[in-house]
């Protein structure tokens, strides 16, 4: 599904355009024009490393007769994506115990007896706004008579410190530019077959590029490397398909806004040091 929504802004002498290009499940793909790879990669790194989210940091076990050791179970709990409220919670300073201040932590408890599958929805937080983003995510299976009882806290953090605080999987690629130089080539069938994404088609005995699916190109260059006389391929150096696959802690808009704020703040620090 291509979403027609564009934002155009002139920054530093160049005009940048951002379009919500595609939306599927938890992934939004943006078409960004008028920038270079360094700029796009800066946004990607800011999202992965500096956009804060909540994650379970400390766990105290009172009962655990499941087949999973405490350390492994604590690790699983820490990796659960939690719906995050950035207006209420702050990242705790290094020299402060987050349990001492409400703004630095959210407490939780979990108590289950088997037989059952313990899932994310079974974790109870003392703040009703905080929940596991994927409530059906399995944590551990308890057999008849087995018990799990634990408490702990979740704190705000950034992916630079640990991947459990990263809000999304982010990646990008240049927008492909593919042209058929010889539409009536006798090698049309071979070209159609060699493309792993099936971006070529034959209509009325002519080889064509399926423009509606060209964004699916993986930039493998198999077409032009095997058929250089028939196909031309060149990635656009100032156009990128920027994919943000949210883990569920934050909406896509908030993720991008926070990443922009981080970049702006870092650039301002550089300006002050000059």
pLDDT-derived band at 87 (thresholds 50, 70, 90) equals: very high
What H or E segment, with its residue span, contains residue 49? helix 37-50
Instruction: Look at residue 208 and tell me if it is in a domain.
Output: yes
pLDDT-derived band at 215 (thresholds 50, 70, 90) equals: confident
| Domain identity same for 105 and 235 | no
| Domain identity same for 156 and 174 | no
Burial of 158 (0-12, 13-18, 19+ CB in 10 A): middle
Q: From 123, 145, 165, give the residue that closes a domain.
A: 165
- Position 211 scores a pLDDT of 85
d(CA 152, CA 60): 6
> Whole domain around residue 133: which residue ranges?
53-165
CB 120 within 8 A of CB 139: yes
pLDDT-derived band at 12 (thresholds 50, 70, 90) equals: low
Q: From 145, 165, 185, give the residue that closes a domain.
A: 165
48-57 tens-digit pLDDT = 999 999 999 9
Instruction: Look at residue 78 and tell me if it is in a domain.
Output: yes
| Domain identity same for 191 and 116 | no
Instruction: Look at residue 39 and tell me if it is in a domain.
Output: yes
| Domain identity same for 151 and 187 | no
Q: If you ran DSSP here, which 8-state letter would residue 76 be given?
A: H
Q: How many CB atoms lie within 10 A of CB 269?
A: 9
- Position 242 scores a pLDDT of 95
| Domain identity same for 155 and 173 | no
CB 92 within 8 A of CB 149: no
**Residue 27, domain CATH:** 3.30.1360.10
Given a cut of 90, whether residue 71 has pLDDT beyond it is yes
d(CA 160, CA 164): 10
Q: What are phi and psi of 168, to 5 degrees?
A: -165, 165
152-169 tens-digit pLDDT = 999 999 999 999 999 999
| Domain identity same for 127 and 112 | yes
pLDDT-derived band at 1 (thresholds 50, 70, 90) equals: very low
Given a cut of 60, whether residue 6 has pLDDT beyond it is no
Given a cut of 60, whether residue 94 has pLDDT beyond it is yes
Altogether, the residues listed in the chain come to a count of 274
264 Cβ contact partners less than 8 Å away, ≥ 6 residues apart: none
Instruction: Look at residue 131 and tell me if it is in a domain.
Output: yes
| Count of domains observed in the chain | 2
Virtual torsion, Cα 124, 137, 155, 46, nearest 10 deg: -150
d(CA 154, CA 56): 4
Given a cut of 50, whether residue 263 has pLDDT beyond it is yes
Across the range 220-248, mean pLDDT stands at 92
Q: Which of 180-194, 219-233, 238-252 has the highest mean pLDDT?
A: 238-252
**Radius of gyration of the chain, Cα coordinates, nearest whole angstrom:** 24
- Mean pLDDT (the chain, rounded): 91
Given a cut of 80, whether residue 142 has pLDDT beyond it is yes
d(CA 48, CA 165): 8
| Domain identity same for 33 and 134 | no
- Position 22 scores a pLDDT of 87
pLDDT-derived band at 45 (thresholds 50, 70, 90) equals: very high
- Position 193 scores a pLDDT of 92
Q: If you ran DSSP here, which 8-state letter would residue 230 be given?
A: T
């Amino acid at each position: 599904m291509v979403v027609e929504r564009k934002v155009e802004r002139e920054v530093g002498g160049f005009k940048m355009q951002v379009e919500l290009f595609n939306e599927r499940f938890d992934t939004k793909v943006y078409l960004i024009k008028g920038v270079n790879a360094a700029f796009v990669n800066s946004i990607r790194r800011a999202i992965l490393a500096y956009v804060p989210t909540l994650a379970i940091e400390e766990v105290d076990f009172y009962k655990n007769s499941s087949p999973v050791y405490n350390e492994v179970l604590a690790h699983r709990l820490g990796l659960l994506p939690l719906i995050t409220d950035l207006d209420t919670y702050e990242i705790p300073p290094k020299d402060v115990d987050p349990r001492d201040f409400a703004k630095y932590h959210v407490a939780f408890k979990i108590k289950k007896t088997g037989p059952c599958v313990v899932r994310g929805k079974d974790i109870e937080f003392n703040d009703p706004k905080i929940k596991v983003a994927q409530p059906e995510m399995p944590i551990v299976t308890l057999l008849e008579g087995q018990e799990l009882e634990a408490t702990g806290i979740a704190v705000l953090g950034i992916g630079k410190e640990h991947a459990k605080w990263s809000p999304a999987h982010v990646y990008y690629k240049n927008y492909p530019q593919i042209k058929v130089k010889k539409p009536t080539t006798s090698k049309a069938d071979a070209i159609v077959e060699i493309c792993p994404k099936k971006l070529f088609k034959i209509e009325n005995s002519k080889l064509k590029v399926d423009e509606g699916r060209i964004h699916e190109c993986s930039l493998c260059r198999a077409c032009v490397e095997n058929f250089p006389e028939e196909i031309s391929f060149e990635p656009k150096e100032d156009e990128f398909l920027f994919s943000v696959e949210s883990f569920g802690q934050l909406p896509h808009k908030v993720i991008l806004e926070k990443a922009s704020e981080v970049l702006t703040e870092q650039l301002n620090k550089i300006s002050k040091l000059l």
